[in-house]
Amino acid sequence: MRLARSIRPALLYLGAAAILVWSAAPFIWQFSTSFQLDRALMAATPTFWPAPFTLQHYLNVFTVKHFQYYVLNSVIVASATTLFCLAFGSLAAFALARLRIYPRFGILGLILSVSMFPQIAIVGPLYLVASDLGLLDTYTGLVITYLALGLPLVTWVLFGYFDTLPRELDEAARIDGVGPIGLLLRVILPLSLPGLVTTGLLAFIAAWNEFMFALAFTSSIAHQTIPVGIANFTNLYYVPWGDIAAASVVVTVPLIALVLVFQRHIIEGLTQGAIRE
């Protein structure tokens, strides 16, 4: 019994260390790789601390591969997607959470079930439509697509936030002669700011990381997003692991920073669907 009592904390810390290594080590290795010379990367024994230190790979990424264009495209597409998702999503979530509508949960369920469609099943037909409308290789085509992909989750999470605000607010707004739109804009949205940040972040990450539609719909560096850029990062004769690592660091570090800042909200937002009983 006493033995067990002293082993337990040791096991706990061992487990915690394992989880930490699991989650962080691969990316830290990628980070280290991005600062190493090709010579060091191809050596029989890997070097963990970059020595000699080099910024050559970052230089390659921006001057040879013109990575800044992909970054710009991704920033534009993901930001526009996030804005539209929040606008459409909060209107819908407000209608479902605070207005009289029937069947409330039937509609919510329907919206969620749409998000279950496998994306490969819509990419072909959507490509034909985009081609007819001249939306291939445009920001608009991608944003319209990502908006629909993101809306079900955004609406669901925002619904959760709106639904928990006290009902007295609606009554007070009514007495003050404020209509539904005023209630949404002046009362509900300002009170749901943390929810908007979380959902916005989720929508942004989803659009930032999306690959298949971007691959199918865009064909030039003028509109291709980062994932497509990185996927195409190969040289003729060898794989430029250092350059790939540098590009990975450039796209992942801002994301990780955002996620770490908002981690509590993200976990809350994401678990809401699965856990609420």
Site for another protein, residues 115 to 134, rule: CB under 8 A: 116-129
Q: Which residues contact 28 (CB under 8 A, 6 or more apart)?
A: none
Distance CA 257, CA 260 (A): 5
Task: Rule CB under 8 A: say whether 7 interacts with another protein.
Answer: no
Q: Which of 152, 195, 198, 223 binds another protein (CB under 8 A)?
A: 152
Q: Which of 39, 66, 174, 186 binds another protein (CB under 8 A)?
A: 174
Distance CA 250, CA 242 (A): 12
Site for another protein, residues 208 to 247, rule: CB under 8 A: 208-209, 211-212, 215-216, 226-228, 230-231, 233, 239, 241, 244-245
The two counts, helices (H) then strands (E), for the chain are 15, 0
Burial class (CB in 10 A: 0-12, 13-18, 19+), 226: buried
Q: How far is the CB of 55 from another protein (least distance, A)?
A: 19
Binding track, positions 68-107, relative to another protein; x by CB under 8 A: -------------------xxx-xx-xxxxxxxx--xx-x
> Which region, judged by CB under 8 A, interacts with another protein, from 9-17, 55-63, 64-72, 191-199?
9-17
Task: Rule CB under 8 A: say whether 65 interacts with another protein.
Answer: no
**Best CA proximity match to 126, nearest among 145, 146, 143, 104:** 145
